[in-house]
Chain A
């Protein structure tokens, strides 16, 4: 090797931050805009911290709202990284190898968002140390929420450490040693499924809420995640292709498209099965579904949302399935945004809010997110995007350098 004094971890970090922060003027404007949105979110949160959750639109009847909805959705996005890892490492797909790092960066960003959404949803965030195993009292294995804490943090660790190791080796122009990271790759594949199943079990395990107490919930979470997640990853890859010189083989789009179509079709099939069950024999337990799709007792806040979601869902699936442009990035971007938004609404508050309506004693209340809630949510989304950017940029820099050095 040509560079005799081995550069340490400190220089790795400083180089990475340099690559992450330098860029064109438009890149700097983009970062600045994200920081402004984050700042607004922090300001809104300080208001919520002082006043309590009373500044949100939640109530004793609809006691989870925008935060938990987004949490649920982004667990799916995080889990979807497995759709790149699995072909890249298990089926040794060379094309996916090129972009697997992007999937992992998206997973880290999504997980940080999930943890932030949970934190801002807490009534007593200053008492959160009570849930730290060893310090507080961890109700494991009884409470599914403690399982979720474990799997989410574990998945975050896996998705941080494995790419970090590979990049660190490449940074020093070494090939990563297989046995040191491959076991963790396989673990993370299993783990990705588990984060989403456990999150589904949070809801699925509550007989109090018939709308959620449905064994299809977990599998359906996975199907929708494996459609929406790769759609997000596709959006990121298109953005990278359009704004950087990092080489992206068009075959990637073709393969991602195939994954998305299969998952989206399975998701729609399961949605249809659920709708059939709720409305063919209309029971007392179908009231939540009625509230969601048609409104109940004059309350219909979710009706326009769910029909928009289903339309976007079908539109996105069709756009991906019949692509006349054969991989035009603008076309794919439209398809990805449509599918992503559809699933986001449907699996976000289209899933969480109707679970609470009507309440177990029959009361119907509409939930409308407050301004504070929306600002905090936007702040967290911007944080996620910032993290994905800050991770992807240096990662791609290191990878292309490494490839250049090794092909010469």
Chain B
């Protein structure tokens, strides 16, 4: 990773010099006035349901005016996580753990997909849906698996809707998901910096900061992003409770989301759910900066390729052939 990218990804702690504090507080005052109506709409949409408790309203109010995650101090990050946990308890009587764990040092994640081995069972899809609390109403999937004709290597020629017993003779299978590009067009497109690349290479979305314009979705050449057109729904007993702020926590309607390499797992040293679930061992995940990692072995010893290299996006996701 070159240093320029690194700097771009780094967060600015304090945007405004002290001299501007009066202007800032004035603007904040204005914003409170201007946003109060929409805030009450956003936080208290429950005009016809039971009146909220004062505590709940206070929490939602503070959540509404919080900053972009990248500009938060560690304390602010802890505060928002605490508020989200409290709100989940108040609203749905759920006990969640939401982490804001920072990237690990000297780590850059990479992913490789073995198109010789994959047999299209889609256990990865199922594990991903469950792990990442994906919307069951809209049947959101981060991973799509395509059944491919021999002689083709472009998933757009494959069948992404197959529904029959696998594997089929003379077919092979190719999974696609967010490729976590180093030079990601989605990041460039976002008008509010709600999506960015973390120092460990994971492209994340701040769901609370996203305004839902979907420009990133139009900019992505790999169809790696999913939008919450309605309010996402996950049955209470199926919710994965170990969550990360930038990962599998509850999304809201009108926000963008995407594969995060299971940030809530990988930052704790575990493998992404799709890698763990794969029965054929077609999925390889690891640290590109560690010369002894499996991913480095694959890159060194296998014939690898990436999709749409001509666009210069530099994905951190390779396909390989045994």
* A binding-site residues for B, Cβ under 8 Å: 49-54, 56, 58-61, 63-64, 118, 121-132, 134-139, 142-146, 149, 202-203, 206-209, 355-356, 358-363
| Closest residue on chain A to residue B195 by CB atoms | A139
A and B contact pairs by CB, cutoff 8 A, 10 listed: A53-B230, A122-B254, A124-B210, A127-B209, A128-B38, A131-B191, A137-B192, A137-B194, A138-B192, A206-B185
A149: chain B residues at CB < 8 Å are: 191
A61: chain B residues at CB < 8 Å are: 223
| Closest residue on chain A to residue B212 by CB atoms | A123
| Closest residue on chain B to residue A58 by CB atoms | B229
B255: chain A residues at CB < 8 Å are: 123-124
Q: Are A143 and B144 in contact (CB under 8 A)?
A: no
Q: Are B155 and A123 in contact (CB under 8 A)?
A: no
* B205 shortest CB reach to chain A, Å: 12
* A113 shortest CB reach to chain B, Å: 17
Given A207-B221, A208-B220, A360-B223: A137 and B211 interface contact (C-beta under 8 Å): no
* A123 shortest CB reach to chain B, Å: 2
| Closest residue on chain B to residue A135 by CB atoms | B31
Q: Are B229 and A146 in contact (CB under 8 A)?
A: no
B73 within 8 A of A: no
Interface size on B, residues (CB 8 A): 59
* A369 shortest CB reach to chain B, Å: 14
* A212 shortest CB reach to chain B, Å: 9
A130: chain B residues at CB < 8 Å are: 68, 192, 194, 209, 211
* A129 shortest CB reach to chain B, Å: 5
B166 within 8 A of A: no
| Closest residue on chain B to residue A144 by CB atoms | B189
* A12 shortest CB reach to chain B, Å: 26
B171: chain A residues at CB < 8 Å are: none
| Closest residue on chain B to residue A123 by CB atoms | B212
4 A-B pairs with the lowest CB-CB distances in the bound complex, closest first:
A123-B212, A362-B156, A123-B254, A54-B230
Q: Which residues of chain B (90-107) have a CB below 8 Å from chain A?
A: none
* A66 shortest CB reach to chain B, Å: 14
Q: Which of the listed residues A63, A149, A202, A358 has the most CB atoms from chain B within 10 Å of its own CB? A: A63
B321 within 8 A of A: no
B157 within 8 A of A: yes
Q: Are B27 and A52 in contact (CB under 8 A)?
A: no
* B262 shortest CB reach to chain A, Å: 21
User: Measured between alpha carbons, how far is A363 from B223 in the docked complex, in Å?
Assistant: 10
User: Measured between alpha carbons, how far is A328 from B71 in the docked complex, in Å?
Assistant: 63
User: Measured between alpha carbons, how far is A142 from B186 in the docked complex, in Å?
Assistant: 11
| Closest residue on chain B to residue A149 by CB atoms | B191
User: Measured between alpha carbons, how far is A52 from B219 in the docked complex, in Å?
Assistant: 22
Q: Are A361 and B223 in contact (CB under 8 A)?
A: yes
User: Measured between alpha carbons, how far is A202 from B71 in the docked complex, in Å?
Assistant: 27
* B233 shortest CB reach to chain A, Å: 12
| Closest residue on chain B to residue A352 by CB atoms | B218
User: Measured between alpha carbons, how far is A203 from B219 in the docked complex, in Å?
Assistant: 9
Q: Are B231 and A52 in contact (CB under 8 A)?
A: yes
Of A52, A54, A135, A207, the contact of B311 (CB 8 Å cutoff): A207
* B11 shortest CB reach to chain A, Å: 11
* B binding-site residues for A, Cβ under 8 Å: 24, 27-28, 31, 34-35, 38-39, 41-42, 45, 64, 68, 71, 138, 144, 146, 154-158, 160, 176, 185, 188-194, 208-215, 217-223, 226-231, 252-256, 311
* A372 shortest CB reach to chain B, Å: 12
User: Measured between alpha carbons, how far is A335 from B68 in the docked complex, in Å?
Assistant: 51
Q: Are B214 and A63 in contact (CB under 8 A)?
A: yes
Q: Are A358 and B45 in contact (CB under 8 A)?
A: no
Q: Are A127 and B229 in contact (CB under 8 A)?
A: no
B215: chain A residues at CB < 8 Å are: 143, 145, 202
User: Measured between alpha carbons, how far is A125 from B157 in the docked complex, in Å?
Assistant: 37
Q: Are A139 and B190 in contact (CB under 8 A)?
A: yes
| Closest residue on chain B to residue A59 by CB atoms | B229
| Closest residue on chain B to residue A134 by CB atoms | B27
B220: chain A residues at CB < 8 Å are: 208, 360
Of A54, A56, A58, A143, the contact of B190 (CB 8 Å cutoff): A143
Q: Are B219 and A126 in contact (CB under 8 A)?
A: no
Q: Are A123 and B34 in contact (CB under 8 A)?
A: no
Q: Are A355 and B218 in contact (CB under 8 A)?
A: yes
Q: Are A135 and B27 in contact (CB under 8 A)?
A: yes
User: Measured between alpha carbons, how far is A361 from B185 in the docked complex, in Å?
Assistant: 16
B38: chain A residues at CB < 8 Å are: 125-126, 128
A64: chain B residues at CB < 8 Å are: 214, 218
Q: Are A362 and B229 in contact (CB under 8 A)?
A: no
B311: chain A residues at CB < 8 Å are: 207-208
Given A60-B226, A129-B35, A134-B27: A208 and B219 interface contact (C-beta under 8 Å): yes
